[in-house]
Amino acid sequence: MTSQWQATFFDGSSAAGKAVMLTPGGESLSIKHMDNGEVVLWPYTDVHILYMSKNGLQIDLGLKGEPSVRLKITGSETVEMMKTVVQMPTKKSEWEQGAKVSAVLVAITLVLFLMIWQFERILPDLLPDSYVKSMGKAGADTIHSMYGQTCKSKDGNAALEKMLNRTMGKTALHTDIKLTVANSGMVNALALPDGYIIIFRGLIDKAGNAEEVAGVLAHEIGHVKHKHSLRGLARSLGLDIVLAMMGSGTSVDISGYLMNTSFSRSMESAADEASLKLLEEAGISAQPLSAFFSRLSTLGEPADSDEEDPPSDQGDEKNWALDQLEDLLNSAEEYLSTHPLPGDRAEMFAQAEWETGEAVLNADEWQALRNICGTPETDDSITD
């Protein structure tokens, strides 16, 4: 006896279903409409499962090429027999497929968001050392050519090296520090990839003593320790760095970015913490660095190291005062443009106390460092 099952047929044009009788054949499923006796054959090769309930009480069948039609079969015994007699491949409904595609797209979006968010954190550790070295040297060379040649003098360089060794102590970093002085009146200092640190002559000119410069140096070493310059470049340039590294033909001039990229406050805080640890281990007081930051936060000193006397002509006094005010603003703005200063930083360094050792430099060495770019009267420096 041939098995038959009742089912409900939906033609897609009406929400109401029609009662039908299903009879499995050799190669097709016979569907007989109970209202008019019409018989339709669905080849098994064209039949697919649209939906199957988890409890096994319902199965919906569809027909290839007829997306609007559907057979609804209910009853556990009927569903099981239908699954046994009709060996059909499962085909997900468009809604299920769309839902899964949407879920995949959402997941990809979240992954991309996390990658972008973490990009600046992970990129420094992914870049090859050779690329970082060439990037650091190219950046340092370009900055020196644009903002001031490298200052060199026998005594000045000896004092600079002594300051670096004293500040570093036994601290080990992922790279050696390459410290130079740029012959520019700008009040600034920069940390570049591969351990390059450039101190501008203007900063030394405005420093009250060697300990202030050593404090700034310790801060820049903190940036090197945490690879902040690479993280800043990743934030500014994004995938351009990767494309340039892969030799895609993309040209990246990093000098402008290195000069103008402002470290985030979290980066500055991390560099502060590193500098405090360096200064404490070296026995260098943090009070001078506090004084330096305090001067900057109150707009600092004039940026040009060559002080001008007030004009004798009373009519020019107003213009002279305006020029001095502009220099005063520029001095602080130059440093603050790349090193944002939260208001409590100076206070934080002022409260840091520990046992200190001898002076970073003696009077003669400090004077030699101040003259590393040459004295105003006798330009006895050597510049590249």
Residuewise pLDDT in 10s, the chain (384 residues): 567 888 899 887 777 789 999 888 888 888 999 989 999 998 888 888 877 777 778 888 888 888 788 888 888 777 777 766 665 444 445 555 555 666 777 777 666 555 555 666 777 777 788 888 888 888 888 888 877 789 999 999 999 999 999 999 988 898 999 999 999 998 889 899 999 999 999 999 999 999 999 999 999 999 999 988 888 776 666 555 555 555 544 445 555 555 556 677 788 888 989 999 999 999 999 999 888 877 776 644 433 434 444 444 544 554 544 454 444 444 445 555 555 554 567 778 888 888 888 999 999 999 999 999 986 444 444 445
Instruction: Quote the pLDDT of residue 209.
Output: 95
Return the ∠ at Cα 157 (arms to 333 and 146), rounded to 5°: 40
Find the DSSP H helices in the chain.
76-85, 94-126, 129-147, 154-168, 201-206, 210-225, 228-237, 239-245, 254-260, 265-282, 287-297, 317-336, 345-351, 363-370
> Per the structure block, which two tokens stand in for 239?
């995938």
How far apart (Å, rounded) are the C-alpha atoms in residues 62 and 71?
Answer: 7
Instruction: Quote the pLDDT of residue 300.
Output: 41
How far apart (Å, rounded) are the C-alpha atoms in residues 39 and 228?
Answer: 76
298: amino acid identity, one letter: T
How far apart (Å, rounded) are the C-alpha atoms in residues 234 and 115?
Answer: 12
Instruction: Quote the pLDDT of residue 352.
Output: 84
Please provide the DSSP assignment of 245-260 as one string.
Answer: HTTSS----HHHHHHH
Instruction: Quote the pLDDT of residue 351.
Output: 83
Cα–Cα distances (Å) from 264 to 181, 208, 231, 340, in that order, read 25, 27, 10, 8
Q: Domains plus CATH for the chain? A: 5-91 (2.30.29.30), 127-383 (no CATH)
> Per the structure block, which two tokens stand in for 275?
């500098």
Instruction: Quote the pLDDT of residue 367.
Output: 97
Phi, psi of 191 (to 5 degrees): -110, 125
CB neighbours (10 Å) of residue 95? 10
Of 182, 172, 181, the C-alpha closest to 224 is 172
- The b-or-e profile of 36-66 (16+ CB within 10 A means b, else e) is eeeeeebebeebbbbebeeeeebbbbbbeee
